[in-house]
Amino acid sequence: MTLSRRDFAKRSAVAGAGVALTGSVGVLATAPGALAGTVPEQRGARPRPARPPGYGPLVRDPKGLLALPAGFSYRVITRAGVTKLESGEPTPSHHDGTAAFEGPRGTTLLVNNHELKGPRAGWKYPVPLAQGLVYDPAASGGCTVVEVSHDGAHVTEWVGIAGTSTNCAGGATPWGTWLTCEETEDKAGQNGMTKTHGYVFEVDPHDRRAGRAPEPVKALGRYAHEAVVVDPARGHLYLTEDAAGPNGLLYRWTPPAGFRHGRGRLRTLAAGAGRLQAFKCFDSGGRFVDDLSRATRPGTVYGVDWVDVPDRDAASVSVRKQFKGGEVTRARKLEGMWWADGGAYVVSSFAREESPVQHDGQVWFYDPRRRTLTLKVRFGVNKDPERDGAFDGPDNITVSPHGGLVIAEDGEGVQHLFGALDDGRTYPIARNDLALTSAAGAAGGSAEKPSYSEFTGVTFSPDGRTLFANIQEPGIMLAITGPWRRQ
């Protein structure tokens, strides 16, 4: 049953103004301007200042790699071209989306995407074409599986899937596998590819045999995929699209009647199985919302309907271009997602001239029970991205076992991992101190004005003691440990 505009407007009228200002979980107010906060006291008492969030200022790394708060440390787990796979080949480059799973004998298994687009000849360290695990031998991307011991030492690394393209984010499933997403729409014969791309593939970190002869899960559609999460109660999958001209969409896939999720079951589905739909939002007055950038006030709540995708395999027209104006809601740079608190956190990294309103990032929360989308965090346009301390461009995201969100920054200038709390305060966790010059492959970088690669793949170990994250270029996986505490 869809939630009609009239139903949502009726709910809003009954609940009063509050429905447009609060969601089902705590509102994360605008950042970085919402750093101030107070601790509630008894009625009539003078409020006392809140304890500053986080772990204190970042300390510059003498090794020039990762600045962390005092008391924290890091270990390099993999590094492109330096560490080796168990086959003896070098670790691939351009680390992206990552998830952590409990491994055997107290180890952690990390599935790591490698965002490599186009022909293999274009990259120094593509994903090796491991026998039996290749989809398209012309493609350079894929993902690796890294086994890490309980103390964070690198144990071994192997190929999970190869011959895919532009493996950006993805998502873990409740049944213990990884869904790796291709952020491309290249067809066979385009950009050197021998097969059509733009799909989702399932990788099982626990069973290497399960990935033999990989085939895409075509039921989830073909477009510039970014991330995916699974609703464990209802079986829906939610997927983001990072695209422009026009802006991308948020999708929901509903499984067919009688289908039960489990390891390897998605790849058994027919290409047209289930329903793939795009979202359509409207405000508390029942007015259609054309683009998420129009929400400028944290706490804004939109009702959500879902509209069937006409041709999910995009045989002749990209999926997002199959809808006319007024049929769906769009957003720029729909990127990271994370399932927690009974719903999906969804990131829009930034919006510029292609969107109605400019911003430097939004974090939304979709509540499937209420069928509402609530703006949790909004970043105004960062006027000085070279200045340390101003956060922008959220990308990969995770919910911290220590409270709040941990966000990987993919903006301009300085790049951070940072936390955001439900009272609106933000705090730094790490800063990328590895300056890249144009000689090292970073566009626009120079010795005088270096560029800094984005953070990706932010995820905690199953026991919550280690934060894993990647520096995408050249491709470095890091394990961060320290005196974590409840925020």
User: DSSP letters along 255-281, please?
Assistant: PPTT----TTTGGGS-TT-SEEEEEEE
Q: Domain segments of the chain: what residues?
A: 64-481
Residue 91 DSSP code: P
**pLDDT value of position 110:** 97
The structure tokens listed for 464 are 């919550």
CA diameter of the chain: 72
**Preceding peptide of 32 cis, ω within 30°:** yes
Cα 39–44–50 angle (5° rounding)? 10
Q: Report which residue type is found at 310.
A: P
Beta strand ranges found along 333-409 (DSSP E): 334-340, 343-348, 362-367, 372-378, 394-399, 405-409
Alpha helices for 211-370 (secondary structure H) = none
Beta bridge partners of 146: 110, 157
Residues 79-93 pLDDT 10s: 999 999 999 999 999
- CA dihedral in degrees (208, 213, 218, 219; nearest 10)? -50
pLDDT at position 448: 65
How far is it, in rounded angstroms, from Cα 222 to Cα 352?
Answer: 26
Q: Is 187 helix (H, G, I), strand (E, B) or coil?
A: coil
pLDDT of residue 36: 28
Average pLDDT score over the chain? 88
Q: What pLDDT shows up at residue 3?
A: 47
| pLDDT value, residue 486 | 93
Could you give phi then psi for residue 206, rounded to 5 degrees?
-90, -15
| The predicted structure's pLDDT at residue 260 | 95
Give residue 382's pLDDT: 86
C-alpha span between 392 and 455 (Å, rounded) = 12
pLDDT at 442: 47
Q: According to the model, what pLDDT value does residue 387 have?
A: 79
- Residue 472: name the closest of 227, 116, 59 by CA: 116
Tell me how many degrees the CA angle 95-391-335 measures, rounded to the nearest 5. Answer: 45
Strands laid side by side in the 73-79 sheet: 73-79, 476-481, 467-471, 455-460
Per-residue confidence (pLDDT) for residue 280, from 0 to 100: 98
Query: Closest Cα partner for 136 from 89, 88, 182?
Result: 182
Give CA–CA dist 418/394, Å, rounded: 9
Nearest to 378 by CA among 281, 298, 299, 283: 298
Tell me the DSSP string of 195-228. S----EEEE-TT-GGGGSS----GGG--SBEEEE
Separation of alpha carbons 288 and 303, rounded Å: 10
Q: Which fold has domain 64-481?
A: Neuraminidase (2.120.10)
d(CA 368, CA 372): 7
The Cβ-side half-sphere exposure at 19, using a 13 Å CA radius, reads 17
3 state DSSP class of 360: coil
pTM score over 0.75? yes
| pLDDT attached to residue 44 | 52
- Residue segments in the chain with a per-residue pLDDT below the cut of 70: 1-50, 437-448
